[in-house]
Structure 1
Amino acid sequence: MSNWYEKSFGEDYLIVYKHRSRQDASREVARLQEWLQLQEKQLILDLCCGMGRHTIALARKGYSMVGLDLSRVLLSHAVRESEGLAIPFVHGDMRALPFVDHTFDVVLNLFTSFGYFERDEDNLRVLSEIHRVLKPQGQFVMDFLNRHAVEQNLVPESVREEDNVWIREERWIDGDFVCKKITVKDERGERRYEERVKMVEYPRLRQWMEQTGLTVVQAYGDFAGHPYTKESERMIMVGCVNK
């Protein structure tokens, strides 16, 4: 049986998450520029780039970008959207990155693209790989869910329609995992997908990062730049390679 993330990030994903806009990505990119003091000469990896919203937005500002994702469907969409920009979009698994050591100045991992694996060893391997491909003075940003906010604000069920496609999303918490079942229905019939993300809390995630050679310098609760607290909407960790 395939893992949920091997099935869920296909053509229907583009419909379900259509609300994630380029405008939002541009605002988030402006904040990343500020937090990281990005330089045009730096090489930046957008890890789990999906359809390339942030990759493309940064490339249009003159940065040298590489996007990596496991979904060939989303990568194909990113390639089409980036026409005219010299962005390598690479197919790969975040647990075993196809890059040599110390390749990148910056690694970005945005919009809850972490915690996909049942075993802690696999999630730790992602952090180890981020450390491995970063240069000695490298920086990273991880934009992750905040467990307390998820538990407080979880909507058990929602139904909507996008471009004549009926979408039902059911959400629940199973131990340390936040889960979602997505049902998509249109003239082609009905398809079902699942998402299952491990809710790693701030102290534990910070400990994991230290364990794998990464240091958290600052933690924000949203892209407006508010400091992280237990009640924050998000958990955005900005840091560097251990000195």
Structure 2
Amino acid sequence: MSEWFEESFGEDYLIVYKHRDRHGAYEEVQQMISWLHLPVGAKVLDLCCGMGRHSNVLADCGYHVTGVDLSKVLLREAEAQDARQRVRWVRSDMRSLPLDGGYDAVVNLFTSFGYFESDDENSRVLHEIKRMLVPGAPFIIDFLNPSYVARNLAPYTEHVEEGLRIDQYRKIEAGYVKKEIVITDAQESVRRYEERVKLYALDAFRSMLSQAGLSVEQVHGNYDESPYEEDASPRMIFIGRG
């Protein structure tokens, strides 16, 4: 059987998440640059780069960027946005990267973590981040805040995009936040997808990072640089060094 992420990040994903634009990525990258303190020309790995919004903006800012993702569809979209072919695009599972390392920074953004059922499999991703980094180089991991999700989860939303009705059902179950996406076309044909992320609270995540040899220097609650607050912060953004 295929893993959920092998099925979900396809053509329909581009429609469901069409609202994620490059303008927002510019603002987020500017904040990340202030956290990373990297000189222009530094090597940056965008792990789970998706449609390449942040990879392309990082390249705009003068960095040598490698974008890694497992989805052929999302990488195709990323490459289409990279008209000047500045980014190196690599298709790979994040648990075992076909790269030698030597990066001045690694970023893993918008909850591209916790995709696997076992803690060991998720920890392998952190060990790969450590392996990719020049010793002492910085990383950013942008994860959801489980407490905030539990308080603010919308069980159901719907909208129409490109003539498709998109129903989204969300719940927390057995230590995961789960989303079912149901897409119905004009002929009433239905397509279903699952998204599932394992929930890690702050202390558990810190422990996993430490075991992987990654030290945490700051934890922000959002891209406005606000400090992390368990009850109020929508994100858990870890900034540290390998």
- Indicate conservation of the 8 Å contact 1:59/1:85, yes or no: no
State whether structure 2 residue 165 is matched by structure 1 residue 185. no
**In 2: Cα distance, 1:97 partner to 1:108 partner:** 14
**In 1: Cα distance, 2:141 partner to 2:212 partner:** 14
The corresponding residue for 1:33 is: 33
State whether structure 2 residue 240 is matched by structure 1 residue 239. yes
The corresponding residue for 1:157 is: 156
1:41 deviates by 2.4
The answer for unaligned runs of 5 or more in structure 2 is none
Aligned residue runs from structure 1 range 163-178, under 5 A: 163-178=162-177
1:137 deviates by 2.2
1:85 deviates by 3.3
RMSD: 0.9
Question: Could you state the TM-score of these two structures normalised by the residue count of structure 2?
Answer: 0.97
**In 1: Cα distance, 2:238 partner to 2:206 partner:** 9
Output one character per residue of 1:178-218: Cα deviation in whole Å (capped at 9) or x when no partner.
00000112247321000110011110101110111000100
The corresponding residue for 2:55 is: 55
1:77 deviates by 0.6
> How many residues matched?
240
The corresponding residue for 1:104 is: 103
3-state SS of the aligned residue for 1:135? coil
1:134 deviates by 0.6
Question: Could you state the TM-score of these two structures normalised by the residue count of structure 1?
Answer: 0.97
**In 2: Cα distance, 1:139 partner to 1:43 partner:** 11
**In 1: Cα distance, 2:154 partner to 2:171 partner:** 8
**In 2: Cα distance, 1:7 partner to 1:79 partner:** 20
Letter in 2 for 1:123: N
- Indicate conservation of the 8 Å contact 2:79/2:85, yes or no: no
**In 2: Cα distance, 1:165 partner to 1:57 partner:** 30
The corresponding residue for 2:24 is: 24
The corresponding residue for 1:6 is: 6
Output one character per residue of 1:132-190: Cα deviation in whole Å (capped at 9) or x when no partner.
11111211000000000000001101110012111000000112100000011224732
**In 1: Cα distance, 2:85 partner to 2:70 partner:** 21
**In 1: Cα distance, 2:98 partner to 2:3 partner:** 21
The answer for unaligned runs of 5 or more in structure 1 is none
Letter in 1 for 2:195: E
The corresponding residue for 2:86 is: 86
The corresponding residue for 1:145 is: 144
Percent identity over the alignment?
A: 47
- Indicate conservation of the 8 Å contact 2:46/2:68, yes or no: yes
- Indicate conservation of the 8 Å contact 2:40/2:62, yes or no: yes
**In 1: Cα distance, 2:45 partner to 2:32 partner:** 13
* Stretches of 4+ aligned residues off by more than 3 angstroms: none
- Indicate conservation of the 8 Å contact 1:69/1:91, yes or no: yes
